[in-house]
């Protein structure tokens, strides 16, 4: 069983963040993960164990309003606050691994945050970007009424809360994963007007973004994802010049790291990391 240590801090606005990290004796690099909406970082400990076993340190934290971190469930004061939180997370990671390259990894909403973080901070001290199921485009049409209500309430009551509208059976083809998600006390289905509308607006920006990347990017998506569309990840990758790898997994649902084929996904990720860690050093 992999041993993890705490990675906790308090933000300038008083939010207590809870995270963890683990490492082999001589890490080749650190993979620092940002999770998706409604979930939490502990759902990635199996991925972390795999990476640690193969020479990579792993760190993750619960976003504000998620998991064991503080804050109103599913809420952020502004979208930019999330990017500030990622910056604080990276600062903590660097304190533990001051000379080790960092690959920033985001899943779903976390993928949206990670991609926006990099497009806003292209000179950040990162050695690579990894996303899975990034929220660049939804695979379903959210309720027009709920979106309109969210836009209206964001201006007068930013903490107004609605359901995130996720169909849980669409996260994975594994019944065990879905059942565990449903029974997970740290999981919630809440999203406030500020977070929900912020994600929709920034996803549109990413979908239309064109630029070049100074660092390697691995953009992965399940081909049968019914929550976030692979078209979004594919278009973002196509619009970026530089070392960008787009990998679509036919037939896989949203959480490719929790699909029956997850070992293939892990092996592909490891191969990509091994090929790029020398570039990152």
Q: What is the mean pLDDT of the chain?
A: 94
Asked if 108 is an active-site residue, the reply is: yes
- What is the percent of the chain where pLDDT is above 90? 86
Distance between alpha carbon 117 and the CA centroid of its chain, in Å? Answer: 11
Q: Kindly indicate the confidence band of residue 281, based on its pLDDT and cuts at 50, 70 and 90.
A: very low
Please check the confidence at residue 235 and state whether its pLDDT lies above 50.
Answer: yes
pLDDT digits (tens, 9 = 90+) for 67-114: 999 999 999 999 999 999 999 999 999 999 999 999 999 999 999 999
pLDDT digits (tens, 9 = 90+) for 19-76: 999 999 999 999 999 999 999 999 999 999 999 999 999 999 999 999 999 999 999 9
* DSSP-assigned letters across all residues of the chain: ----EE--EE-TTS-EE-EEEE--SS-SEEEEEE--TT--GGGGHHHHHHHHHTTEEEEEEPPTTSTTS-SSTT--S-HHHHHHHHHHHHHHHHHH-TTS-EEEEEETHHHHHHHHHHHH-TTSS-SEEEEES-TTSBSS---HHHHHHHHHHHHH-TT-EEE----GGGS-S-HHHHHHHHH-TT---EEEHHHHHHHHHHHHHHHT--EE-SS-EEEEEETT-SSB-HHHHHHHHHHEESSEEEEEETT--S-GGGSTTHHHHHHHHHHHHHHHHHHH-
Which pairs with CB-CB distance under 8 Å and at least 24 residues apart come from 181-184? 181/39, 184/39, 184/40, 184/43
> Environment class of residue 167 by beta-carbon count within 10 Å: exposed (0-12), middle (13-18) or buried (19+)?
exposed
The pLDDT of residue 153: 66
pTM of the full predicted structure?
Answer: 0.95
Q: Kindly indicate the confidence band of residue 280, based on its pLDDT and cuts at 50, 70 and 90.
A: very low
In CATH terms, the fold of domain 5-280 is Rossmann fold (3.40.50)
| Tokens representing residue 261 in the block | 């084929």
Average pLDDT over residues 221-235: 98
pLDDT digits (tens, 9 = 90+) for 118-142: 999 999 999 999 999 999 999 877 6
Crossing angle of helices 193-207 and 109-120, in 10° steps, is 60
Asked if 254 is an active-site residue, the reply is: yes
The pLDDT of residue 143: 64
Among 75, 221, 225, 233, the active-site one is: 225
Among 69, 108, 172, 233, the active-site one is: 108
pLDDT digits (tens, 9 = 90+) for 140-191: 776 665 666 667 567 777 787 877 878 999 999 999 999 999 999 999 999 9
Among 21, 35, 107, 254, the active-site one is: 254
The pLDDT of residue 145: 58
């Amino acid at each position: 069983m992999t041993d993890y240590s705490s990675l906790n801090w308090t933000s300038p606005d008083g939010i207590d963040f809870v995270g963890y990290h683990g490492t082999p004796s001589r890490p080749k690099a650190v993979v620092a993960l940002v999770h998706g909406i409604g979930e939490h970082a502990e759902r990635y400990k199996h991925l972390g164990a795999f990476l640690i076993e193969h020479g990579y340190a792993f760190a993750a934290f619960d976003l504000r309003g998620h998991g064991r971190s503080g804050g109103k469930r599913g809420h952020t004061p502004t979208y930019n606050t999330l990017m500030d939180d990622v910056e604080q997370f990276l600062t903590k990671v660097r304190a533990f691994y001051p000379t080790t390259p960092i690959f920033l990894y985001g899943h779903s909403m976390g993928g949206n945050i990670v991609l926006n973080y990099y497009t806003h901070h292209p000179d950040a001290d990162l050695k690579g970007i990894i996303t899975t199921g990034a929220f660049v485009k939804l695979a379903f049409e959210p309720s027009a009424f709920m979106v309109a209500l969210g836009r209206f309430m964001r201006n007068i009551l930013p903490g107004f809360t609605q359901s995130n509208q996720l169909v849980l059976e669409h996260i994975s083809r594994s019944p065990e994963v879905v059942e565990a998600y449903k029974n997970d006390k740290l999981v919630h289905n809440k999203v406030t007007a500020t977070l929900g509308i912020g994600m929709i607006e920034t996803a549109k920006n990413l979908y239309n973004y064109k630029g070049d990347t100074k660092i390697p990017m691995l953009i992965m998506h399940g081909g049968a994802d019914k929550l976030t569309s692979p078209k979004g990840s594919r278009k973002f990758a196509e619009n970026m010049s530089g070392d960008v790898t787009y990998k679509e997994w036919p037939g896989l649902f949203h959480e490719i790291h929790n699909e029956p084929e997850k070992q293939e996904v892990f092996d592909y990720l490891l191969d990509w990391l091994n090929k790029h860690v020398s570039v990152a050093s």
